[in-house]
Structures are given as C-alpha cells and as structure tokens.
A and B are shown apart, each in its own frame.
Chain A
Amino acid sequence: QVQLQESGPGLVKPSETLSLTCTVSGGFINSFYWSWIRQSPGEGLEWIGYISDRGSTNYNPSLRSRLTLSVDTSNNQFSLKLSSVTAADTAVYYCARDLITFGVRHWFDPWGQGHLVTVSS
C-alpha cells in the first residue's frame, strides 16, 4: 500500500523559500501524477500544483510565480519550493497521489499525514 511522508523545516522566515519533500513508499513514483495541497484555517484546502513522474507540471495560477515542483524518481521523491513566503503561506502542507479518471480528471488519494509550516520571524 502506497504511503506518502512530507518532510522539511517547520519554521520559515518571511521572504525566504519554503522547501518540502514527499517520500513515496510501498510503491513507485513512476506512471503517476503527484500533487501538493495545503490547508490553513483561513483558506481551507488549496491545491498548489501537480507534477508527473516525467516532470510535467501544472501550477495553481495564484502561486505560479513563486512555485517550483520537481521530481526525483531515483529516490522515489518529489519536492516543492515556494519562494518569498509571507504569513499567508502558513499552513499544513500535504502531498498526495493523483487518481486520474477519463484521462484528465484528478482526484487525490492517498495523502501524506501533513506537515505544518509556520512563516514567522
């Protein structure tokens, strides 16, 4: 059974870059798409973006200018970098596998346990 685990700093200073990695176990990263989703009390669930095993990406337009997703198939990991963070980026960040139906419809299952990132000086 596929499991996902987020890792990275829990505290990031304003204007710096937030970096997280998701490690996939119990299965291979190949042949799937992988998403990042965040949840903050004020904004609910927000889809950040996805990346395929081949590195194809699709970003939330609201974050596109600050966001970079990457994949490392040799280590069964994918990563997120969000630059110029502010307090509004404080959230629990989840990684998830995309379940795709009819070729283009993305649902998210399973999810990692989530990783709280606080942006504060």
Chain B
Amino acid sequence: DIQMTQSPSFVSASVGDRVTITCRASRDISTWLAWYQQKPGKAPKLLIYGASTLQSGVPSRFSGSGSGTDFTLTISSLQPEDFATYYCQQANSFPPFTFGPGTKVDCK
C-alpha cells in the first residue's frame, strides 16, 4: 500500500492568514492526489483532485500543487469557514486508495 503522511498535524492560524499544508506519499504517485475538507460531524468534501484541479464550487483561495511524492494545499487567505481538518488521498495505486492522517486548522 502507498502510505500518506501530512505535516503539520495541527495549524493554528488567524482569519486572513496564508496556510500551507504538506502531504507526502511513500512512493511516486505522479499527480494522482486529492484534498478533502472535513468539518466536525460532517462528511469530507472534495476540494482538489489531480493535485491541482479545483472541484466545481470550491473557492479560488484554495490551490494545490506538487507531483511525485510531495504535495501542498494552500489557502491564500483563511476565512472563518475554513477552520476544519484537511486530508489528502492518493489514487495512483489501488487497491487500496489511501488517505493521509489529516491536518487540523484551528483558530489562533
């Protein structure tokens, strides 16, 4: 299985801050990576797939980049509704599809 790691595990940030989250795959996954946002008590929501393609309806302050083993999710200007946990997911090698452990973005 491809193992996914994320850093940091927690981010404390304020509204308006630029936030960057990193995801690393245990081997090359090309650009076959997605990012999800999950709020407490809710299901994850797809934000980005193919490493950098924004899902329909997702605000443009979210962006993704990377290829191979290292990827980043950037929120250019954090909004109140962005406080949540973010997960990455690889779709290069399956079964199984695998997820990262999550990064929680908290209010400073």
Contact = CB atoms under 8 A, between A and B. Distances in A.
Interface residues of A, number: 24
A111 B100 CA distance: 18
B96 A108 contact: no
A47 B97 contact: yes
B44 A111 contact: yes
Interface in A77-121: 94, 96, 99, 101, 105-114
Interface string B39-70: 00011111001100001000000000000000
A44 B9 CA distance: 13
A9 B32 CA distance: 35
B44 A107 contact: no
B11 interface: no
Given A46-B99, A61-B95, A109 B50 contact: no
B14 interface: no
Interface of B: 32, 34, 36, 42-46, 49-50, 55, 87, 89, 91-92, 94-102
